[in-house]
């Protein structure tokens, strides 16, 4: 499709970084207007973050007197500390890290095994199997939650991180299987043939050839599973009722009902929730952006 487009001279391809003078000439009034409008809307998008930041560290008296917009005249950690200690936020962070970490690893391992059977093994009916796996990912969790609630109580897994780990790992591996199976489906057959001729068993092929070569994709999956689990709310809300087992999201969700008398309390709670998300984003930025793009095309 794109091949029909006429190729142009390299001169037109030059980007403004090189042709600064002509680019500047083309900017014009309308160019600056549009830039200002865009920058203004971008600022509006991040304004809630800014408000949370300044008000989380503002003395409540100052908030009551001057409102939310002003920058605090003194740093006050009362609201943050009250929140942190009040909900035992260290515990929630630890729970979230344990849950997200184990879900991510188990889900990636499950995905790799299933995708190995589907993409490399080319087992019969794999298209249908993949379709069924995708149902696991798209089905609303409301249609599973009550039975899972009943079953986990019977198996003594209710209100345990173990129970939620198993459930979320299986649900997320459905997506991982779908993604990995298509990656493995185009795995170079010559490599596999050569390994088989050398007498490699299926497990050896998985461990020594497929696993090392798919490690970049697995890294994307692990990152995504970690973030998804961190952000997940519904099943942890239902299956982890006791304060000692709650995750960050669940504890914040539980807070939103109460706590409205002190104006800086919710800002502090938001800030506590924003911080880990921001850290993960900065750490995993590239992987996430790549994943968003892969996910959209897939």
Partner 1 sequence: MTAVTPAPTAAASRTPSPGNKKTPRHTARESSRGYWIYLLPGAVGFLAIVAIPFGMNVYYSLTSWRGVGAPKFVGLDNYVRLVADPAFWASFLHSIAFILAMAIIPTALGVLLAAVLFDYIAPKFGSRVASILRATFYLPQILPIVVAGVLWKWLYQPQYGIINTTLDDIGLGFLQQNWLGDSDTAMLAVMNVLIWLQIGYTVVVFMAGLSRVDPALYEAAEIDGAGWFQRFWSITIPQLRPEIAVVLITTSVAALKVFAPIYVLTKGGPGTSTIVPAYFSYSNFFTTTQVGYGAAVATLLALLVTIIAIVLLRFQTRNAEGFEK
Q: Is residue 242 at the binding interface for partner 1, with CB under 8 A as the rule?
A: no
Task: Select from 121, 159, 213, 287 the one that contacts partner 1 (CB under 8 A).
Answer: 121
CA 137, CA 140: separation in Å to the nearest integer? 8
CB 84 within 8 A of CB 272: yes
CB of 90 to partner 1, least distance (A): 17
The dihedral sign for the CA sequence 103, 105, 108, 112: negative
Cα-to-chain-centroid distance, residue 49: 19
Cα-to-chain-centroid distance, residue 291: 10
Block residue for tokens 């408000």 = 51
Q: Which residues 9-68 are close enough to bind partner 1 by CB under 8 A?
A: 12-13, 15-17, 23, 26-27, 31, 34-35, 38-39, 42-43, 45-46, 48-49, 51-52, 63-64, 67-68
Q: Is residue 266 at the binding interface for partner 1, with CB under 8 A as the rule?
A: yes
CA 232, CA 25: separation in Å to the nearest integer? 49
User: How many other CB atoms are found less than 10 A from the CB of residue 180?
Assistant: 25
CB 76 within 8 A of CB 262: no
Task: Select from 58, 95, 100, 116 the one that contacts partner 1 (CB under 8 A).
Answer: 116
Task: Select from 21, 65, 154, 260 the one that contacts partner 1 (CB under 8 A).
Answer: 260
CB of 75 to partner 1, least distance (A): 19
Task: Select from 33, 36, 61, 69 the one that contacts partner 1 (CB under 8 A).
Answer: 69
Block residue for tokens 């209710």 = 158
Q: Which residues 123-142 are close enough to bind partner 1 by CB under 8 A?
A: 123-124, 126-127, 129-136, 138-142
CB of 169 to partner 1, least distance (A): 8
The stretch among 72-80, 87-95, 97-105, 290-298 that binds partner 1 (CB under 8 A) is 290-298
SS3 content of the chain, % helix, strand, coil (to 5): 80, 0, 20
What does each C-alpha distance from 168 to 16, 110, 176, 227, 293 come to in angstroms?
Answer: 47, 12, 12, 12, 23
CB 254 within 8 A of CB 180: no
For partner 1, the closer of residues 39 and 81 by Cβ is 39
CB of 62 to partner 1, least distance (A): 12
Tokens in use for 297?
């095309």
CB of 277 to partner 1, least distance (A): 5
Q: Is residue 169 at the binding interface for partner 1, with CB under 8 A as the rule?
A: yes
Could you tell me which of 40, 172, 41, 154 has the C-alpha nearest to residue 104?
172
Task: Select from 62, 88, 263, 287 the one that contacts partner 1 (CB under 8 A).
Answer: 263
What are φ and ψ of residue 36, in 5° steps?
-65, -40
Task: Select from 99, 209, 222, 252 the one that contacts partner 1 (CB under 8 A).
Answer: 252
CA 219, CA 105: separation in Å to the nearest integer? 10
CB of 186 to partner 1, least distance (A): 5
CB of 285 to partner 1, least distance (A): 9
Q: Is residue 199 at the binding interface for partner 1, with CB under 8 A as the rule?
A: no
Task: Select from 194, 208, 278, 283 the one that contacts partner 1 (CB under 8 A).
Answer: 278
Could you tell me which of 132, 139, 84, 98 has the C-alpha nearest to residue 252?
84
Q: Is residue 269 at the binding interface for partner 1, with CB under 8 A as the rule?
A: yes
Q: Which residues 77-96 are close enough to bind partner 1 by CB under 8 A?
A: none
CB of 72 to partner 1, least distance (A): 15
């Amino acid at each position: 499709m794109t091949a029909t487009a006429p190729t142009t001279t390299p001169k037109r391809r030059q980007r403004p970084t090189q042709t600064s003078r002509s680019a500047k000439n083309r900017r014009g009034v309308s160019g600056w207007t549009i830039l200002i409008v865009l920058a203004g809307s971008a600022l509006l998008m991040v304004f809630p973050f800014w408000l949370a930041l300044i008000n989380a560290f503002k003395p409540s008296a100052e908030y009551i007197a001057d409102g939310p917009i002003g920058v605090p005249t003194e740093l006050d950690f009362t609201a943050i500390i009250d929140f942190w200690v009040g909900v035992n936020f260290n515990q929630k962070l630890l729970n979230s890290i344990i849950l997200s970490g184990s879900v991510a690893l188990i889900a990636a391992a499950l995905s790799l095994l299933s995708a190995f059977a589907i993409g490399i093994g080319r087992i019969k009916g794999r298209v249908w199997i993949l379709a069924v796996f995708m149902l696991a990912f798209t089905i609303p969790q409301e249609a599973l939650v009550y039975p899972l609630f009943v079953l986990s109580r019977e198996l003594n897994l209710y209100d345990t991180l173990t129970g939620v780990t198993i459930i979320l790992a299986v649900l997320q591996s459905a997506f991982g299987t779908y993604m990995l199976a298509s990656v493995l489906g185009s795995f170079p057959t010559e490599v596999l043939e050569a390994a088989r001729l050398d007498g490699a068993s299926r497990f050896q092929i998985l461990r020594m050839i497929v696993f090392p070569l798919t490690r970049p994709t697995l890294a994307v999956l692990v990152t995504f599973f970690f973030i998804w689990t961190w952000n997940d709310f519904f099943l942890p809300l239902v299956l982890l009722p006791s304060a000692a087992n709650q995750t960050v999201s669940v504890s914040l969700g539980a807070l939103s009902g109460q706590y409205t008398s002190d104006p800086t309390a919710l800002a502090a709670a938001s800030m506590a929730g924003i911080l880990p998300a921001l850290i993960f984003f900065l750490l995993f930025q590239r992987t996430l952006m790549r994943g968003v793009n892969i996910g959209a095309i897939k």
